[in-house]
Amino acid sequence: NPYILATLLFGLGLGTTITFASSHWLLAWMGLEINTLAIIPLMAQHHHPRAVEATTKYFLTQATAAAMLLFASTTNAWLTGQWDIQQMSHPFPLTLITLALALKIGLAPMHTWLPEVLQGLDLTTGLVLSTWQKLAPFALLLQIQNVNPTILVTLGLASTLVGGWGGLNQTQLRKVLAYSSIAHLGWMILILQYSPSLTLLALLTYFVMTFSTFLVFKLNKSTSINALAISWTKTPILTSLTPLVLLSLGGLPPLTGFMPKWLILQELAKQDLAPLATLAALSALLSLYFYLRISYAMTLTMSPNNLTGVTPWRFSSPQLTLPLAIATTATISLL
């Protein structure tokens, strides 16, 4: 029903906007709750057991994170008499709130729900979950100052490593994308303390690249690596561009995905954190391996000629092609 869909999407936008505009913890919490409640029907709209299971898992983790956030902000108000997001000074609620927001966006070691949930959804809702749902918690993370830097660096490094290792032995594309999301979020959190504008840049480029990747898989109607092998017969032009999109996600120059990684490594080196920068750069190699594997499965193997049920590529859906063209071009050539 278009009315219900419009209402839910409006709720999704409203929740994020409320969190963006809030300077009071209660209002921020309210925005996050509206956001969660709006996406849950969207996730469960295909009444498939996997979708319902994913929705339940998502609901439980988000409710836990929101409860943690509420508890931490109340504790902060009790200890300091302040409800203001900017004015947080006590280390205990600060740490708790950082961990609650990390659980909300799926940073390691609170990441285990993300691949499971993403695997149960269709690609469109998965895209919303991977991009839009990260905005509100990030707005809060950017606003809280004087968090212990060790916590953020530990979360960030753990996420890049987990995102790299976790994606290595996956055959399902949505799980690979979930681990890729964890790794990218790790890079963003790594630099959050030292240069918030770089975090925003990384978030923006991640959005563009993820958008384009999800659209490619949607146009191919493929959800596993095996299904990619026959994409030559479905969309030849797209198939030849996809490796570039994937390598951009992996952060290879001269593609767009290299830009945030380059600047983040530079900033870390400026802050005298050379060992950290080295570890982060090495963890990016892990991600690069599984992106390469997907590109290999998609373009460097001969496709088996089973043309049954393959639609001619010229008749692909027109409402996808324009956003896809824009996103792909941005992913490949923004650097």
- Can you give the pLDDT of all 335 residues of the chain as single tens digits? 899 999 999 999 999 999 999 999 999 999 999 999 999 999 999 899 999 999 999 999 999 999 999 999 999 999 999 999 998 889 999 999 999 999 999 999 999 999 999 999 999 999 999 999 999 999 999 999 889 999 999 999 999 999 999 999 899 999 999 999 999 999 999 999 999 999 999 999 999 999 999 999 998 888 998 888 877 777 777 888 899 999 999 999 999 999 999 999 999 999 999 999 999 999 999 999 999 999 988 887 765 555 555 555 555 677 888 898 899 999 999 99
Nearest-10 Cα torsion for 173, 158, 204, 67 = 90
Token digits of residue 82 = 């302040």
Yes or no: say if 243 and 299 are a contact pair by the CB < 8 Å rule.
yes
Residue 315 amino acid letter:
F
Residue 129 amino acid letter:
L
Distance between CA atoms of residues 75 and 79, nearest Å: 6
pLDDT of residue 166: 95
Yes or no: say if 117 and 103 are a contact pair by the CB < 8 Å rule.
no
Distance between CA atoms of residues 70 and 101, nearest Å: 11
Yes or no: say if 295 and 228 are a contact pair by the CB < 8 Å rule.
no
pLDDT of residue 238: 80
Handedness of CA 228, 233, 237, 238 (dihedral sign): negative
pLDDT of residue 221: 86
The size of the chain, in residues, is 335
Yes or no: say if 228 and 265 are a contact pair by the CB < 8 Å rule.
no
pLDDT tens, residue by residue, 228-264? 887 777 777 788 889 999 999 999 999 999 999 999 9
Residue 192 amino acid letter:
L
Distance between CA atoms of residues 32 and 69, nearest Å: 10
* DSSP assignment letter at 44: T
pLDDT of residue 300: 75
Distance between CA atoms of residues 156 and 253, nearest Å: 22
Token digits of residue 53 = 């299971």
Q: What is the pTM of this model?
A: 0.94
pLDDT tens, residue by residue, 37-71? 999 999 999 899 999 999 999 999 999 999 999 99
Helices within the chain (DSSP H only): 2-21, 25-43, 49-80, 91-105, 113-120, 123-130, 135-143, 149-166, 173-192, 196-220, 225-228, 231-234, 236-250, 258-270, 274-299, 318-333
Yes or no: say if 105 and 158 are a contact pair by the CB < 8 Å rule.
no
